[in-house]
Amino acid sequence: MTTATNRLCAIAAGLGLFTAPVDAQDETIVRIIQTNSAGTDAHVIDPATHEVVAVIEDVPRAHAAVDHPEGHYYYFANERDDTVDVVDTRTLRTIMHIPLIDQPNKLVINESLGKMYVGIRGAPYTQVIDLETHAVVKTIEMIHGVHNVYVTADDRFIVAGLGATPSNVDEHTIQVIDARTDEIVWGVALDGHRVRPMALEYNPDGSTRRVFAQATRLNGFYVVDWDRREAVDFISPPPLPVSRQNFDGIQDGTGHGLLVLPDQSALWYASLLDSRIYGWSLPELEFIGGVEVGASPQWLTATPDSRILYVSVVGTMESVAVDLESMEIVARIPVGHAPKRNSTHVLPAGRIEIPGVGDE
């Protein structure tokens, strides 16, 4: 199954829209990719064993990774060279570099329209890449440089979080792009705060219900109502005593890492300040609890069955696997320097990595 199909199937399963898996006969493999923001490589983790099964070389300062809808390629946002690096998923070799207008940050695939969107942090743009030609086909002007971009489950919209502090409390720090026209259609202000990671929640029909957004200098997240197009709440974890908090290296990113599980059952948040991850049930947003994972947790991704959460922990240079049923750490996986962005990839079994071996 392809990227968007997997996403919609996971949402549908979590919402009870069907009881049997779609295309269950299709053999797939799951891989967790952990990028290393202070290095030139990325680690490939098998979630079945919690072991590193390969290392992708020559992906310097990779901000994030996504995969081609048919599983042929990984795409890495290369902050050093201002490119998207295209890596063959079998050989794990870089086969081309797509030049960008400036430094990229997060990128995302819109499968149904055959496009990739790249947030440009170094300049006020989002760039659109055609997946068939690997050419930039449009540059969308934004208010500021873009930190993170996300695609809605129905592929209708791209949600972009801006990477600069707004000039006033009414200036939009989230902008929404209509993926059919690649035009900005609306935006949201967050009380003058710069937005960090975001996560999206969906209605039973797959349309977008809420956006959860972290903001600078705040230990918690905004709740944005999609239909009202405004922030309606701000939620924080229970406060810890200062003696149990860690102020080293957080800069203005008190929290950095936010994820709605594939089955839409919960929202998870990474607090750099608290060295913990925290969960809230959905849709009620009732607090579940927290797990101490180590200094500077930075990003979150989950297995497709929503059972295991992987947390990048910069302070220990590990990817930490947390069992969400027992709320316990089940593995600490050594990775590279300053591990931050991580992601889950479901690929055809025929694309399993064979480092150093060419395609047949």
> Which element (helix H / strand E) includes 75?
strand 73-78
Can you tell me the mean pLDDT for 151-155? 97
Whether 360 is in a domain gets the answer no
Which one-letter amino acid corresponds to residue 301?
Answer: T
> 24 and 327 in contact (C-beta within 8 Å)?
no
Whether 323 is in a domain gets the answer yes
CATH of the domain at 66: 2.130.10.10
Can you tell me the mean pLDDT for 221-245? 89
Which one-letter amino acid corresponds to residue 224?
Answer: V
Domain that holds residue 172: 3-19+27-351
Whether 283 is in a domain gets the answer yes
Task: Give me the number of domains the chain comprises.
Answer: 1
| Structure confidence at residue 273 (pLDDT) | 86
Closest residue by Cα to residue 42 from 54, 50, 30, 51: 54
HSE of 270 in the Cβ direction (CA atoms, 13 Å)? 31
| Structure confidence at residue 358 (pLDDT) | 46
Q: Is the pLDDT score of 5 beyond 60? A: no
Other C-beta atoms closer than 10 Å to the C-beta of 221 total 28
Identify which has the larger pLDDT, 215 or 277: 277
Q: What is the dihedral of CA 79, 80, 82, 87, to 10 degrees?
A: -80
Whether 358 is in a domain gets the answer no
DSSP SS3 for 10: helix
Can you tell me the mean pLDDT for 287-293? 97
Can you tell me the mean pLDDT for 95-120? 97
| Structure confidence at residue 24 (pLDDT) | 39
Whether 58 is in a domain gets the answer yes
Q: What is the pLDDT of residues 52-90, one digit of tens each?
A: 999 999 999 999 999 999 999 999 999 999 999 999 999
| Structure confidence at residue 260 (pLDDT) | 98
pLDDT band at 243 (very low <50, low <70, confident <90, very high): low
Can you tell me the mean pLDDT for 148-172? 95
Other C-beta atoms closer than 10 Å to the C-beta of 133 total 10
Distances 291 to 236, 273, 315, 316, 323 between C-alpha atoms, Å: 15, 13, 16, 16, 10
Can you tell me the mean pLDDT for 162-186? 95
Closest residue by Cα to residue 321 from 45, 88, 43, 18: 45
